[in-house]
Structure 1
Amino acid sequence: MLIAHTCERHRQSGGTVELRQLRYFQAVAEEGNLTRAAQRLYLSGPSLSQQIRLLEKELGAPLFERSATGMTLTAAGLALLPEAKAALDAAERARRAVEAAVRAEPVVLTVGVPAGVPAALVRRVRDASAALRRTGTAAGAAARIRFQDASTAEQLDRLAGGDLDLGLLTAPFPTAGLGTMTVWQEPMGVVVSRAHPLSGLDAVGFGDLAGQDLIWFPRESAPGHHDEVLAVCRRNGWDPQLRPGSGHRSVFLTQLTCGEEVVALQAASMVDDDSALVWRPLAGDDTPSLTLTAAWRAANTDPALRELVAALRRHRPAPDRATGAPRAAYPASG
């Protein structure tokens, strides 16, 4: 009755008993000594004593009888002790319930993909995410992937801004502040219409490309890859007239099958079995390649991201050429 009367008076006065005050009270009650309780709580003796007196003031009743030998609970203190333990236990159960709910809620990782990314690579990221959904992360949470279309340049900006967890970028690109890992690499070749004279060759030399225009993606999408491939072409004597490529497959096919002297440069994994198109390798040792690199902010310590990167590292292909990749027609990657 005393504790009920005291708490009712406390409620009417508008005071607030804090959980930390109950924790302090419980420690003193269990130790029976202010100094030992202060040591247990990593507090100074005067600070703990002040907190106990504030709690007594809030509740309107003395909780301890103080003596030279220690501190003994009063009737009000004896009444409060089981209630304090119950309140602290309830708070701990609430904390654990919230943690369990957070662990059960899937972590969403945003992954950027450029135009023309090989479908096999996207599936590899998806499969790694599926494994994390089944087993959870180091933090205990499941994880799933949300893909977002973005050029290499856009992904770099979004990685820097923190609104992209992982990027699949067309190399080369600036890597300051990033963790990186090559996840796809294969040589680029020539794509032409089946009616094009070059389609009859087993391999196309740079000399064979004289007079041909090149369907190519805008430089601002992936400046490093754009310049690197054109540098290889020019170094081998072919300085093509560029025609802007389109991200729409139908437009891309129309550009290549218009009957004009025009070609595209792509990796084999980006050309399907469309009866109107063929892919031919470039002859020689100095030929361009497509390299896709996974990139993330080096400062990002998210356990789900780290485990996704580890899963990709375990399953990445040999660096010379990815094999078994499904074929899909797209413009050159940006």
Structure 2
Amino acid sequence: MELRQLRYFVAVAEEANLTRAAERLGLRPPSLSQQIRGLERELGAALFDRTAAGMELTPAGAALLPEARAVLEAAGRGARAVAAASSATVALAVGVPPGVPPDLPGRIGAAARDARARPVFEDAATDLQLAALRRRALDLAVVTLPADLSGLASETVHDEPLGVLMADGHRLARRDAIAWPDLDGERLLWFDRALASGYHDAVLDACRAGGWEPETRVSTARRAVARAELASGEPVVALRPAWAAEPGLAWRPIAGTAPRLRFALAWHRDPGHPAAEAVARRLRR
């Protein structure tokens, strides 16, 4: 087995969908499918059941998943150790979830450089990041709040209100602001709870508190896919920050109390992570 094959396998297992996994990896779905089948042939076992709903792990695939993650994490630690040993700077593994504001990775990078560290960004959803941080597979995690940060140090690094994102031609796009009752009959383009359970539940609770009980449609975090779904002509909206607006889409604030998008930087506060503490301190300024 090659590291590349294991990385592809983990992406398909986490996305449970070949197309979304291919988009995440920057591959064409047929190429990714061929790689997965090659791994299955090499191991002599089917790793996925291909169903209409997506890719479901077989018992063999479920057995391989934690081992594959452990191998990839060990390889990442090895690469970071080599980078740290061959450079005057310290390499920091920084987990970044989908949906971060465009300027945040740059801010973290600048803070890391000031702290004589080099960030190595890794894509990971909040709940997966927290597990990786606690087993020391990450040095820093950018997590979507609220989240269980018990036993960790943290610093809030971003906080802004959500509004309603929709197609330019949507029936509500002509309004200056949108009240919760205006959204009756609309479906909410949302995400799988396993990615960021605290944020997932908090936003839906805010919708219900405002008087809107949304029917949700689970979608990928990829902007191109979300844009296509919002522009489909169906009664569907998303809750996003203002910077998510782009040509063909309209963003309007929520009239009244709006849920907020907040991110925190989390790390282990111990003598082994002085660079992580230094990055957080610089972001706090």
- Which runs of structure 2 are paired with 1:1-334 in the superposition (5 Å)? 104-133=87-116, 143-269=117-243, 271-274=244-247, 276-284=248-256, 286-299=257-270, 301-314=272-285
Give the alignment's TM-score, normalised by structure 1. 0.58
Size of the aligned set, in residue pairs, is: 202
Deviation sequence 1:109-160 (CA, Å, 0-9, x none): 0111110111111110011122233xxxxxxxxx211000000001100111
Give the residue type in structure 1 aligned to 2:284. Answer: R
Deviation sequence 1:263-289 (CA, Å, 0-9, x none): 0001112x1432x101100001x2200
Give the residue type in structure 2 aligned to 1:266. Answer: R
Matches of 1:223 and 1:102, distance apart in 2: 37
Equivalent residues of 2:152, 2:268 under 8 A apart: yes
Deviation sequence 1:162-211 (CA, Å, 0-9, x none): 01011110001111110011100000000000010111000000010000
- SS where residue 172 of structure 2 aligns? helix
1:104 Cα deviation after fit: 5.0
Identity %: 42
1:300 Cα deviation after fit: 5.3
Matches of 2:245 and 2:180, distance apart in 1: 23
Give the residue type in structure 1 aligned to 2:93. Answer: T
Give unpaired runs (5+ residues) of structure 2.
Answer: 1-83
Matches of 2:246 and 2:196, distance apart in 1: 27
Give the residue type in structure 2 aligned to 1:109. Answer: L
After superposition, the CA RMSD in angstroms is: 1.6
- SS where residue 153 of structure 2 aligns? strand
Matches of 2:209 and 2:99, distance apart in 1: 26
- SS where residue 99 of structure 2 aligns? coil
Partner of 2:70: none
Deviation sequence 1:63-122 (CA, Å, 0-9, x none): xxxxxxxxxxxxxxxxxxxxxxxxxxxxxxxxxxxxxx9595321001111101111111
Equivalent residues of 2:245, 2:251 under 8 A apart: no
Give the residue type in structure 1 aligned to 2:150. Answer: A
Higher Rg: 1
Deviation sequence 1:221-269 (CA, Å, 0-9, x none): 1111100110011111110110012122221111100101100001112
Partner of 1:52: none
Give unpaired runs (5+ residues) of structure 1.
Answer: 1-100, 134-142, 315-334
In structure 2, relative to structure 1, the CA distance for the partners of 1:208 and 1:302 (3 Å cut) is same
In structure 2, relative to structure 1, the CA distance for the partners of 1:160 and 1:198 (3 Å cut) is same
Matches of 1:115 and 1:257, distance apart in 2: 21
